[in-house]
């Protein structure tokens, strides 16, 4: 077992790496070389990345791809996606191309309300607390004017503050439940600063409230923090077309495809075991765009999955129907996103992605992200209800397998051609690569040209 180290954060980056290499690796020099190979040769750019977090030792890369041909509200987009899963970008691009020929995607922001709470304990008469809150409510707004001034100038700020009694669930537990509009910023720092100010005002005003008994003046604030569950910060994305336009391939009629597709969605609506994987596919698209645009995918994931459980059972985020011969596939999803602040202008590639998207507002980015999730879901369901998910996924996974097996460039080209007509599996690729490595090169070239 390694020994604890004191003052690690005060070491230089080189000292941190040296300690890690010597403490955990049989070949320390190789470990150091590997880490340094991922440093950016541009020193100022590397310094910028080093300062994003504490104890940085190197950069951890994800591929940044693009999915072109998205039409959203009659506007064309090429969507950036930062993701490691091999089939995500290809699936999104395929769905985008499919729906671009059928009118594209429609997206609407339903609301942009965000939430924060001051959690506190009050051991006293609930009626007295209600009277107190009503008498000082305005002071929460007035006492945070210095924090909200700039946000108000942009059309945002504190929307409302409520007192909520939770004593049936936890003894003496109450909340200040506040709602916010943060415009183009995600608003986490703004909201948390306001909440901490509310808690300060709450405690100070309670001490001076004449109607409180002595034991009621000591309000104990447990914590003040925003919520990543934003059920009123929701965007809707949808596609629709006549059923007869859903031509998948010659082996399945548009009606059969539609019937199977809708049944697959309904299964995810009622079966949590399926719904989790179904929604994970949606998040493949959503997370990839969120990472590329410098937003917090962990916050979005938590809020989305809570939203999927809002009716007491985890269920599908997307839905499908046919009415009067028109197929409609749609999704409503909570997305608290920002286009200013955080990494949006600090990280060069994040800035690049925003510019490629036309420098969208937060509402526009919500629409783009939701559409990417719906496109991903459509692509997955289309595969599942026709050819099966593995055919396309494993084709995309082929290059990963070839790289794992150490294939050279010539053998990679041969394998890609071979597996256009053959099923991909790790063992099948290994066997074929072994065949290439033990076969006369002239014979291989002859087979490749056929």
Residue 290: name the closest of 300, 279, 276 by CA: 300
182, 211, 227 - which closes a domain = 227
Cα–chain-centroid distance for residue 138? 36
Q: How confident is the model at residue 341 (pLDDT cuts 50, 70, 90)?
A: confident
Give residue 444's pLDDT: 63
Give residue 393's pLDDT: 53
Range of weakest confidence among 85-94, 143-152, 436-445: 436-445
Q: Is 280 a catalytic residue?
A: yes
Give residue 395's pLDDT: 58
Q: Say if residue 448's pLDDT is above 60.
A: no
Query: Do 99 and 243 belong together in one domain?
Result: yes
Give residue 394's pLDDT: 59
Q: What gap in Å lies between CA 119 and CA 195, rounded to an integer?
A: 10
Query: Do 253 and 381 belong together in one domain?
Result: yes
Please report, for the chain, how many H helices and E strands are present, in that order.
16, 10
Instruction: Give the HSE-up count for residue 394: Cα atoms under 13 Å, Cβ half-sphere.
Output: 17
Instruction: Give the HSE-up count for residue 42: Cα atoms under 13 Å, Cβ half-sphere.
Output: 5
Give residue 409's pLDDT: 80
Cα separations (Å) of 172 from 161, 215, 239?
Answer: 19, 13, 48
190, 208, 227 - which closes a domain = 227
Secondary structure letter of residue 105 according to DSSP: B
**Mean pLDDT across the stretch 25-40?**
96
**Mean pLDDT across the stretch 304-311?**
98
Query: Do 251 and 330 belong together in one domain?
Result: yes
Give residue 325's pLDDT: 97
Q: Residues near 188 by Cβ (< 8 Å), separated by ≥ 6?
A: 226, 296, 299
Give residue 426's pLDDT: 76
Q: Say if residue 316's pLDDT is above 90.
A: yes
Query: Do 31 and 75 belong together in one domain?
Result: no
Give residue 74's pLDDT: 98
Cα separations (Å) of 79 from 227, 267, 361?
Answer: 28, 30, 15
Query: Do 410 and 267 belong together in one domain?
Result: no
List the 220-227 sheet strands across, edge first.
Answer: 157-165, 173-181, 114-121, 220-227
Q: Is 84 a catalytic residue?
A: no
Point out the catalytic residue in the list 13, 217, 260, 280: 280
Instruction: Give the HSE-up count for residue 210: Cα atoms under 13 Å, Cβ half-sphere.
Output: 0
227, 258, 293 - which closes a domain = 227
Q: What gap in Å lies between CA 198 and CA 205, rounded to an integer?
A: 10
**Mean pLDDT across the stretch 45-71?**
96
59, part of any domain = no
Q: Is 426 a catalytic residue?
A: no
- Structural domain that includes position 191: 114-227
Mean residue pLDDT across the chain: 92
220, burial (CB in 10 Å: exposed 0-12, middle 13-18, buried 19+): exposed
Q: What gap in Å lies between CA 146 and CA 24, rounded to an integer?
A: 50
Query: Do 123 and 271 belong together in one domain?
Result: no
39, part of any domain = yes
Point out the catalytic residue in the list 114, 393, 397, 411: 393
Q: What is the pLDDT of residues 408-427, one digit of tens each?
A: 888 778 787 777 677 777 78
Q: At what angle do helices 88-100 and 362-384 cross, to 10 degrees?
A: 100
Secondary structure letter of residue 298 according to DSSP: H
303, part of any domain = yes
Greater pLDDT, 340 or 388: 340
Radius of gyration of the chain (CA): 27
Q: What gap in Å lies between CA 282 and CA 331, rounded to an integer?
A: 10
Q: What is the pLDDT of residues 209-268, one digit of tens each?
A: 988 988 888 899 999 999 999 999 999 999 999 999 998 677 789 999 999 999 999 999
Give residue 404's pLDDT: 80
Give residue 445's pLDDT: 59
Secondary structure letter of residue 166 according to DSSP: -
Greater pLDDT, 445 or 114: 114
Size of the chain in residues: 450
Query: Do 441 and 407 belong together in one domain?
Result: yes
Q: How confident is the model at residue 1 (pLDDT cuts 50, 70, 90)?
A: low
Give residue 411's pLDDT: 79
Query: Do 28 and 72 belong together in one domain?
Result: no
Query: Do 335 and 427 belong together in one domain?
Result: no
Greater pLDDT, 87 or 151: 151
358, part of any domain = yes
Quick count: other Cβ atoms within 10 Å of Cβ 273? Answer: 10
Q: Say if residue 73's pLDDT is above 90.
A: yes
Q: How confident is the model at residue 70 (pLDDT cuts 50, 70, 90)?
A: very high
Q: Is 301 a catalytic residue?
A: no
Q: What gap in Å lies between CA 117 and CA 225, rounded to an integer?
A: 6
Q: What is the pLDDT of residues 136-194, one digit of tens each?
A: 999 999 999 999 999 999 999 999 999 999 999 999 999 999 999 999 999 999 999 99
Helical residues (DSSP H) of 345-440, grouped into ranges = 348-356, 362-384, 389-404, 409-418, 426-437
55, part of any domain = no
Give residue 414's pLDDT: 79
Share of the chain above pLDDT 70, in %: 94
Strand, coil or helix: what is 185? strand
Query: Do 374 and 278 belong together in one domain?
Result: yes
Cα–chain-centroid distance for residue 346? 19
Point out the catalytic residue in the list 85, 269, 271, 301: 85
Sign of CA dihedral 267, 388, 373, 63: positive
Instruction: Give the HSE-up count for residue 17: Cα atoms under 13 Å, Cβ half-sphere.
Output: 18
Give residue 407's pLDDT: 82
Q: Which two tokens stand for residue 217?
A: 């003046």
Query: Do 274 and 322 belong together in one domain?
Result: yes
191, burial (CB in 10 Å: exposed 0-12, middle 13-18, buried 19+): buried
Give residue 446's pLDDT: 57
Give residue 399's pLDDT: 72
Q: Say if residue 392's pLDDT is above 70.
A: no
Greater pLDDT, 112 or 401: 112
Cα separations (Å) of 320 from 13, 130, 241, 327, 378?
Answer: 52, 45, 12, 7, 10
Query: Do 250 and 348 belong together in one domain?
Result: yes
Number of domains observed in the structure of the chain: 4
**Mean pLDDT across the stretch 42-56?**
94
Judge whether 185 and 344 are in contact, CB under 8 Å.
no
Greater pLDDT, 169 or 401: 169
**Mean pLDDT across the stretch 97-103?**
97
Residue 222: name the closest of 165, 153, 162, 175 by CA: 175
Strand, coil or helix: what is 218? coil
Q: Which two tokens stand for residue 394?
A: 């494993």
């Amino acid at each position: 077992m390694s020994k604890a180290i004191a003052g690690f954060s005060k070491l230089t980056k080189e000292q941190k790496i040296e300690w890690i290499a010597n403490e955990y690796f049989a070949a320390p020099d190789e470990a150091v070389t590997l880490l340094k190979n991922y440093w950016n040769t541009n020193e100022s750019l590397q310094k910028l990345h080093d300062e994003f977090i504490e104890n940085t030792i190197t950069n951890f890369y994800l591929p940044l791809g693009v999915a072109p041909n998205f039409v959203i509200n009659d506007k064309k987009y090429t969507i950036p996606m930062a993701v490691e899963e091999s089939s995500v970008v290809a699936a999104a691009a395929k769905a985008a191309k499919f729906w671009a020929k059928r009118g594209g995607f429609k997206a609407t922001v339903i609301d942009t309300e965000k939430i924060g709470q001051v959690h506190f304990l009050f051991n006293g008469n609930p009626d007295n607390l209600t009277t107190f809150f009503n008498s000082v409510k305005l002071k929460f707004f007035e006492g945070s004017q210095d924090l909200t001034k700039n946000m108000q100038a942009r059309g945002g700020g504190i929307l409302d503050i409520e007192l909520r009694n939770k004593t049936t669930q936890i003894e003496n537990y109450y909340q200040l439940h506040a709602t916010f509009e943060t415009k183009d910023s995600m608003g986490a720092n703004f909201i948390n600063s306001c909440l901490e100010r509310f808690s300060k005002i709450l405690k100070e005003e309670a001490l001076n409230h004449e109607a409180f008994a002595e034991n009621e003046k000591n309000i104990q604030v447990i914590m003040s923090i925003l919520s990543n569950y934003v059920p009123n910060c929701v965007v809707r994305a949808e596609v629709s077309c006549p059923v007869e336009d859903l031509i998948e391939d010659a082996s399945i009629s548009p009606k059969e495809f539609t019937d199977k597709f809708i049944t697959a969605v309904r299964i995810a609506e009622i079966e949590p075991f399926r719904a989790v994987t179904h929604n994970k596919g949606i998040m493949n698209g959503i997370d990839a765009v969120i990472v590329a645009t410098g937003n917090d995918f962990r916050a979005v994931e938590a809020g989305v999955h809570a939203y999927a459980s809002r009716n007491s059972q985890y269920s599908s985020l997307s839905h499908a129907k046919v009415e009067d011969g028109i197929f409609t596939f749609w999704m409503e999803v909570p997305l608290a996103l920002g286009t200013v602040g955080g990494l949006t202008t600090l990280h060069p590639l994040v800035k690049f992605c925003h510019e490629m998207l036309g420098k969208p507002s937060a509402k526009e980015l919500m629409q783009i992200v939701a559409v990417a999730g719906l496109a991903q879901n459509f692509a997955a369901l289309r595969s599942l209800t026709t050819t099966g998910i593995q055919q396309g996924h494993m084709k995309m996974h082929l290059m990963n397998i070839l790289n794992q097996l150490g294939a050279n460039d010539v053998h990679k080209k041969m394998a890609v051609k071979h597996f256009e007509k053959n099923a991909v599996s790790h063992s099948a690729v290994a066997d074929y690569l072994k065949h290439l490595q033990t076969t006369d090169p002239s014979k291989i070239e002859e087979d490749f040209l056929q």
